[in-house]
Amino acid sequence: MTAPRAPHHRLDGPESAPPLILGPSLGTSLAVWQPQLPGLTRGHRVLRWDLPGHGGSPADLLPGEEATVGRLAGLVLAAADRQGWDRFGYAGISLGGAVGAYLAAHHPERVEALAVVCSSARFGEPSGWHDRARLVRERGTAPLLETAPGRWFADPAATARTPWGATVLDDLAETDPRGYAACCEALAGYDLRDRLAGIAAPTLVVAGRDDPATPPPHARELADGIPGADLLELARAAHLAGIERPAAVTAALAAHFAPAPAADPRPTDPRGN
Ligand SMILES: O=C(O)CC1=CCC(=O)O1
């Protein structure tokens, strides 16, 4: 079997800082993380990657058999290997979060800490994803441009006009239908519910209260299933919570991935002074 190619990716932040990989959601590109970039590159070397057919990644990144979240995870490992990163922090939105949870469950030695934003252990009935894959293969992403703002934004009219809102919608319009359909099929086949209890990485789960795609019960299932996971539910946020609540999402991720403080080198006074 040939080793997976690395997806298109971009590196930011100090070269010597601890590595943090950021994964995007279906229909978006690495630009979906732009609001978080200044905050997260303060303490990390950040690698953002693109799904097949999205952003700068070619649609045929996963040739041959059907796309799966496991194969997408292989792309991330190829990108990390290229940097020489044995271990890394990982945060992902929706499908990108599923890739992170899969990595933490199947390759625990690689994931130092995990954050899943507006994601799920299972994204509903597979038939809905197969239908969407068929629609996009036949008609491209144009029909989705009508429905995506209502799933992605709590205030679709206002957020679609902001620079970040407009950028993610432009990226959806530009997405290669073959890559988008392949990602729908990966979502159809994904079910990590039986593996959540085996995730050992410290995990933060973030939900948007108004998210119709992965509503808060999906986040609670993740947080209840992953030992010790923290859950943050954000008001005034739908599926792309990081676009509508940029400061809250950045602060939560920066705190979650902050390196543990070094042990105090001073000798301990047995009287507690
Ligand atoms: O349907 C959408 O656009 C939202 C979504 C579901 C999975 C994902 O990655 O994005």
Domain boundaries, given as residue ranges, for the chain: 9-257
**Of all protein residues, whose CA lies closest to atom 8 belonging to ligand 1?**
26
State residue 67 phi and psi, 5-degree precision.
-70, 140
The mean predicted confidence, pLDDT, of the chain is 95
- State the amino acid at position 191 in one-letter form: D
Q: Going edge to edge, which strands form the sheet with 111-117?
A: 9-12, 45-49, 19-23, 88-93, 111-117, 203-208, 230-234
Tell me which of 151, 169, 210 to substitute to probe ligand 1's pocket, judged by most ligand atoms within 8 Å of the beta carbon: 151
Residue 95 CA, closest ligand 1 atom number: 9
For the segment 124-174, what is each residue's pLDDT rounded down to a tens digit?
999 999 999 999 999 999 999 999 999 999 999 999 999 999 999 999 999
The residues facing 46 across adjacent strands are 12, 20
This prediction has a pTM of: 0.95
Task: Tell me how far the alpha carbon of residue 149 lies from the centroid of ligand 1, in angstroms.
Answer: 11
Task: Tell me how far the alpha carbon of residue 148 lies from the centroid of ligand 1, in angstroms.
Answer: 9
Cβ(20)–Cβ(46) below 8 Å: yes
* Cβ-proximal residues to 256 (8 Å cutoff; 6+ apart), any chain: 113, 115, 202, 204, 230
**Of all protein residues, whose CA lies closest to atom 1 belonging to ligand 1?**
213
**Of all protein residues, whose CA lies closest to atom 5 belonging to ligand 1?**
26
CATH top class, domain 9-257 = alpha beta
- The secondary structure of 167-195 as a DSSP string is HHHHHHHHS-HHHHHHHHHHHHT---GGG
